[in-house]
Structure 1
Amino acid sequence: MEKIWTLKRQGESNEIKHLSAALNVSMTIARLLVQRGITTFNEAKAFFRPRLSDLHDPFLMKDMEKAVARLEMAVANQEKVLVYGDYDVDGTTSVALMYTFLKPRFEHIEYYIPDRYSEGYGISPQSINYAADNGFSLIIALDCGIKAVEKIADARERGLDFVICDHHNPDEEVPPAVAVLDPKQPDCNYPYKELSGCGVGFKLLQAYCQKNNIELEEIYDLLDLVVVSIASDIVPITGENRVLAYYGLKKINSNPGIGLQTIINVAGINGNDITISDIVFKIGPRLNASGRIEHGKKSVQILVSNDEDKSDLLGEEIDSFNEIRKTLDRDITQDALDMIEKDPEMKDMNSTVLYNRDWHKGVVGIVASRVTEQFYRPTIILTESNGLATGSARSVKDFDLYEAIGQCSDLLESYGGHMYAAGLTLRIENIPEFRRRFEEIVTTQLTDLSQVQTIEVDSKITLSEINPRFYRILKQFAPFGPHNMTPVFMTEDVFDAGTSRMVGKNQEHLKLDLVEPDVHSGIFPGIAFNQSDKFDLITSGLPFDVCYSITENEYRGKTSLQLFIRDIKKRDIF
């Protein structure tokens, strides 16, 4: 599929020149900083050298005084406390963080993760019954609860207090909890709005430590859990999240908790410099697999473990869940793609809505993402659960999936989510009409640009600009993630040096050797995965353009720079 390259706004030239001189860096480096809103020496210093002292005062968050006071009362009276969280990575790391800190302070404390299939997302009636029947008086809910108005009202009538630590958008009415910590509340003046659920839990512990003169090192020692939540929940790595992620990566690379070390070992990344990308693609999926295949409490068990032998056994089990998840993901994705390929009418549609009662509910979200990547259009994957069709939806750039699904709400039992990802439940007999109406809405609202994959390019550069110092500074832009992605560059008018070739088991990749005309910078290597269809173009003897990020390649003990090619285009010659 042809991709569109869009060059980001390059910033005001005087600001770039001033910053380049102040920092003694190239204009390209200065431009990348200005694009990220960094225009002064002090802002650049804070960006390149994050400090834990830069974290905001937790008491700026609405209800923080109430939350700390309620926790202090529970400690003083040795109440029974239940730490509650969602079954995804953000939820399980949140619970592990809170439970690890509070366990030495309580004689009676437990954690509770709802079952994905019998209880579903959020505060479940079963959990409230469990807490009431077993004498708990305080529930600390993490990564959920902001919309559970009726359930928390019921819990309150039964003598259960809630402290909510959430980061999702609230409705007009918030639950009647003792304290609701959520920076996205309209009347909350907390300066940073994009914390993960685990991040909000961390702020509660930060406030508790400050109020009770507890050394902050005790919670800084848990930042490996926080960075796993930040990476896995795909929240922006800016501001406070950047500080937490920076120090969380330091912790995970130097001295992670026993459980996380086990996950690192089974993921095969021990001894590497673990990055946000490693968490997203290797650590997070394993922690998620427990909730998808069996139960999310297994992830909490390993994250709070202080026994290496037990942790190793849990790690093997969790890794086996991940292997099952990968098999289900692969098989169901292929089923879905085959359904589309075999139906000419469906293949030509602007949306995808697929249903199979036998598909595993735990992987439909992943499958929806895979199918969206293949056909690049709004996609909904449904299966049967408790007599209803339930599933996940994924969108494409600039298309508001949540709003489109909302226009079909009369056909739905429930739905939730945001612009690019959503979940929904409907009666099985309503699927045909929902598919018809959803396609109609998508066809009306989807723009031509939304139907084409876009690569956002940070800057045009020449290959001669790339040298060890340039890359050394570039690495300091990490940790990379949403709103601070790995910089993407484009270089125009390059040629094959004559030694580029197809590689891979099926000759599906390209190993490139590139040169610039009239520039004595030598040959620059690059790798282009799954782009062997461009081989004739690059070996034609004509110039072409490349779009890429810069990486390090280690071969036989030697490290060198190479281009990670995102796309290749024929050079227009006028």
Structure 2
Amino acid sequence: MRWTLQPKPETHKVEVLSKALDVSNLVATLLIQRGVETFEDAKKFFRPALEDLHNPFLMKDMDKAVTRIEAAIANDENILVYGDYDVDGTTSVALVSSYLKTYYPNVATYIPDRYDEGYGISYKGIDFAHDNDFSLIIALDCGVKAIDKVEYASEKGVDFIICDHHRPGAELPNAIAVLDPKREDCNYPYKELCGCGVGFKLIQALTEKRGGTIENLLLYLDLVATAIGADIVPITGENRVLAYYGLKVINSNPRTGFKSILKQIKKETLTITDVVFIIAPRINAAGRMKHGNHAVTLLTETDMNKAAVWAAEIETFNTDRREADKQITKEALKQILDNAEEDKKTTVVYNENWHKGVIGIVASRLTETYYRPTLVFTKSGDKLAASARSVKGFDVYNALEACSEYIEQFGGHKYAAGLTLHEKDFENFKTKFEEVVAKTIDPKLLTPEVKIDAEINLKDITPKFYRILKQLAPFGPENRTPVFMTQQLKDVGFGKCVGEDKSHLRLVVKQGNSNQFTCIGFGMGDKEPIACKGAPFKAAYVIDENEWNGTISLQLRLKDIKP
């Protein structure tokens, strides 16, 4: 791993902020690294306020969207709320449909079938709307590139409002309204909303138009926080406010569907990381293994007994997903070893029998293992479908765009994308993708990086310091959990490999005459010789809490160690 120590902010800036907030220079340094430079910035950062949310009507086309929905309600039209089958899509559909149903009954939901219809807006979904007398579709977390499909809907007398956050193509669909902060002609101040976040701005606008306030919408923020965590969008600005209040709802008054999921987990206070690893995979499992409708039903259910039945079913999907993911990852790793080629800058694997629902997870695992831009392909009908994942700092979306002559359809973000192509184009695409990445990637990006916020001594780690660190949460992209480095550490003699397969490393360390700290390094059993032979070493780590027999103590969760 490459260790990169973040540049130290100017001493003057650190001292001014330290004095203004009455915090240590170390805390002031961490804040400045996160863009917090003044007392006013710090107030907004530590105490996110609902009034810091932007006016939804600043988003291009918002007035058109609200006018069309109001007209639909006035004319007794049927409204179809349409969204993708992943966490962002299903939470968006649950959010907008349940909000509209509080004052208008003619609302239904539609999630495309991952296997039959694929990603985004489908012709089948439009036919469903037309055949069932829906004259307005509100599409969430998809649609910004669906030019032909929106045209097709228009010919059938079905209007579209698109709420998306993916990058648009050169042309926008001819919809009634296209809400997407990434539109070049959209001056909305915050560009990093997830799909559910854009959906939230829509219901915020509708609420304002009806004379309500943001407080009327607080209970919907558990869905928004879940989507923010799952979709890996930056937890800065508006997303930080939405995630902060959403976590409060999850921890104090979660919706029935969340309660039924959380009943199975013994954890009192959930962080955004818990939401990502506990709630999100279960919501995702429905669309991966069966159908995204199951997730929407669970998220909108208000009867606890019914929700318990749905949650149990989704738990089964999640177990099946884990088994499929484990097996496919094993097969993919074997395929890479069998076809090992020197100096490849990409990883591309394909098996027509792999489960389409888990190839995205497998792509993430392969990226972690080989640290290359990665594509995992499977057969989908008469075409091939793939999930793409990238390494930090490399835009895989741009790389796919450069290969578009061989791609039938693609969409996504800088670090994660999906695509389909014809089988006859697979080899040409694979060659071209390798060429594009090899030409454009900075070679150092192919070595995993640990970004270190500050070098500290063990004596700096106190309960008070940790209490302040916790207030930097919720953590996520662009506000990562602080990573520290400490030199001249020694294991006091209790270091050993632990876990069923001895793959984890547990140490008890001190630095000079400092207090001792327990360290845990998951998957770092191979580093045991560095730490346990008596020689000093340095460690990169995050500070967290360990609970054992009712006692809570601070521990160091290792990222890497070096001699």
Normalising by the smaller structure, the TM-score range is over 0.9
Cα distance in 2 for partners of 1:217, 1:211 equals 14
Per the alignment, residue 424 of structure 2 pairs with 429
Per the alignment, residue 199 of structure 1 pairs with 197
Per the alignment, residue 404 of structure 1 pairs with 399
Deviations 1:111-163 (A, max 9, x none): 11111111111111111111112111221111111112222122223222222
Per the alignment, residue 468 of structure 2 pairs with 473
Per the alignment, residue 292 of structure 2 pairs with 296
Choose from 344, 347, 357 the match for 1:362. Answer: 357
How far does residue 215 in structure 1 lie from its aligned partner after superposition? 4.4
Choose from 268, 279, 282 the match for 2:278. Answer: 282
Cα distance in 1 for partners of 2:528, 2:550 equals 29
Cα distance in 2 for partners of 1:549, 1:152 equals 48
How far does residue 228 in structure 1 lie from its aligned partner after superposition? 0.6
Indicate the SS of the match to 2:391. Answer: coil
Choose from 532, 539, 544 the match for 1:546. Answer: 539
Q: Return closer, same or farther for 1:521/1:80 CA change in 2, 3 Å cut-off.
A: same
How far does residue 524 in structure 1 lie from its aligned partner after superposition? 1.9
**1:364·1:381 contact (CA, 8 Å) conserved in 2?**
yes
How far does residue 242 in structure 1 lie from its aligned partner after superposition? 0.4
Query: Which residue type is aligned with residue 394 of structure 1?
Result: R
Deviations 1:317-373 (A, max 9, x none): 111111111111000110011122233x44763322211111111111111111121
How far does residue 409 in structure 1 lie from its aligned partner after superposition? 2.8
**2:367·2:391 contact (CA, 8 Å) conserved in 1?**
yes
245-254 or 115-124, larger mean C-alpha shift: 115-124
Per the alignment, residue 335 of structure 2 pairs with 339
Cα distance in 2 for partners of 1:211, 1:569 equals 59
1:327 is the counterpart of 2:323: yes
Per the alignment, residue 96 of structure 2 pairs with 98
Indicate the SS of the match to 2:212. Answer: coil
How far does residue 223 in structure 1 lie from its aligned partner after superposition? 0.7
Per the alignment, residue 315 of structure 1 pairs with 311
Alignment map for 1:138-177 (pairs within 5 Å):
138-177=136-175
1:67 is the counterpart of 2:65: yes
203-212 or 252-261, larger mean C-alpha shift: 203-212
Cα distance in 2 for partners of 1:395, 1:443 equals 13
Deviations 1:145-196 (A, max 9, x none): 1112222122223222222211111223222222221111112121111111
How far does residue 71 in structure 1 lie from its aligned partner after superposition? 1.9
**1:341·1:347 contact (CA, 8 Å) conserved in 2?**
no
Query: Which residue type is aligned with residue 188 of structure 2?
Result: Y
1:523 is the counterpart of 2:516: yes
Choose from 40, 43, 47 the match for 1:42. Answer: 40
1:501 is the counterpart of 2:499: no
Query: Which residue type is aligned with residue 525 of structure 2?
Result: S
Per the alignment, residue 565 of structure 1 pairs with 558
Deviations 1:240-284 (A, max 9, x none): 110010000000001100011112224x24x42111111111111
Alignment map for 1:161-310 (pairs within 5 Å):
161-266=159-264, 268-269=265-266, 271-310=267-306
Q: Return closer, same or farther for 1:22/1:223 CA change in 2, 3 Å cut-off.
A: same
Query: Which residue type is aligned with residue 302 of structure 1?
Result: L
Indicate the SS of the match to 1:28. Answer: helix
Cα distance in 2 for partners of 1:437, 1:69 equals 46
Per the alignment, residue 434 of structure 2 pairs with 439
Query: Which residue type is aligned with residue 287 of structure 1?
Result: I
Cα distance in 1 for partners of 2:188, 2:394 equals 30
Deviations 1:212-244 (A, max 9, x none): 112433311111111011111111100011001
Q: Return closer, same or farther for 1:413/1:205 CA change in 2, 3 Å cut-off.
A: closer
Cα distance in 2 for partners of 1:92, 1:420 equals 21
Indicate the SS of the match to 1:314. Answer: helix
Query: Which residue type is aligned with residue 320 of structure 2?
Result: I
41-50 or 132-141, larger mean C-alpha shift: 132-141
Contiguous gaps of at least 5 residues in structure 1: none
Per the alignment, residue 535 of structure 1 pairs with 528
**2:50·2:214 contact (CA, 8 Å) conserved in 1?**
no
Query: Which residue type is aligned with residue 311 of structure 1?
Result: A
366-375 or 409-418, larger mean C-alpha shift: 409-418
Q: Return closer, same or farther for 1:35/1:164 CA change in 2, 3 Å cut-off.
A: same
**1:346·1:352 contact (CA, 8 Å) conserved in 2?**
no
Query: Which residue type is aligned with residue 224 of structure 2?
Result: V
How far does residue 561 in structure 1 lie from its aligned partner after superposition? 0.6
Cα distance in 2 for partners of 1:401, 1:69 equals 37
How far does residue 443 in structure 1 lie from its aligned partner after superposition? 3.4
Cα distance in 1 for partners of 2:499, 2:359 equals 30
Query: Which residue type is aligned with residue 428 of structure 2?
Result: E
TM-score normalised by structure 1 residue count: 0.95
- Identical counterparts, % of pairs: 53
**1:75·1:105 contact (CA, 8 Å) conserved in 2?**
no
**2:166·2:412 contact (CA, 8 Å) conserved in 1?**
no
1:484 is the counterpart of 2:479: yes
TM-score normalised by structure 2 residue count: 0.97
Cα distance in 1 for partners of 2:466, 2:124 equals 53
Report how many residues are paired. 563
**2:161·2:175 contact (CA, 8 Å) conserved in 1?**
yes
Q: Return closer, same or farther for 1:71/1:412 CA change in 2, 3 Å cut-off.
A: closer
Indicate the SS of the match to 1:105. Answer: coil
Deviations 1:80-127 (A, max 9, x none): 111111111111101101111111322321011111111111111111
**1:379·1:393 contact (CA, 8 Å) conserved in 2?**
yes
Query: Which residue type is aligned with residue 168 of structure 1?
Result: H
Cα distance in 2 for partners of 1:160, 1:437 equals 39
How far does residue 447 in structure 1 lie from its aligned partner after superposition? 3.3
Cα distance in 2 for partners of 1:253, 1:154 equals 44
Cα distance in 1 for partners of 2:155, 2:128 equals 15
The runs of at least 4 aligned residues of structure 1 exceeding 6 Å deviation read: none
**2:166·2:413 contact (CA, 8 Å) conserved in 1?**
no
How far does residue 395 in structure 1 lie from its aligned partner after superposition? 1.9
Superposed CA RMSD: 1.6
Q: Return closer, same or farther for 1:207/1:463 CA change in 2, 3 Å cut-off.
A: same
Deviations 1:16-54 (A, max 9, x none): 111011111111110010011111111101100111111
Q: Return closer, same or farther for 1:533/1:104 CA change in 2, 3 Å cut-off.
A: closer
Indicate the SS of the match to 1:384. Answer: strand
Per the alignment, residue 54 of structure 1 pairs with 52
Per the alignment, residue 418 of structure 1 pairs with 413
Indicate the SS of the match to 1:198. Answer: helix
1:352 is the counterpart of 2:347: yes
Cα distance in 1 for partners of 2:29, 2:358 equals 41
Query: Which residue type is aligned with residue 191 of structure 2?
Result: K
Indicate the SS of the match to 2:134. Answer: coil
Query: Which residue type is aligned with residue 4 of structure 1?
Result: R
Per the alignment, residue 110 of structure 2 pairs with 112
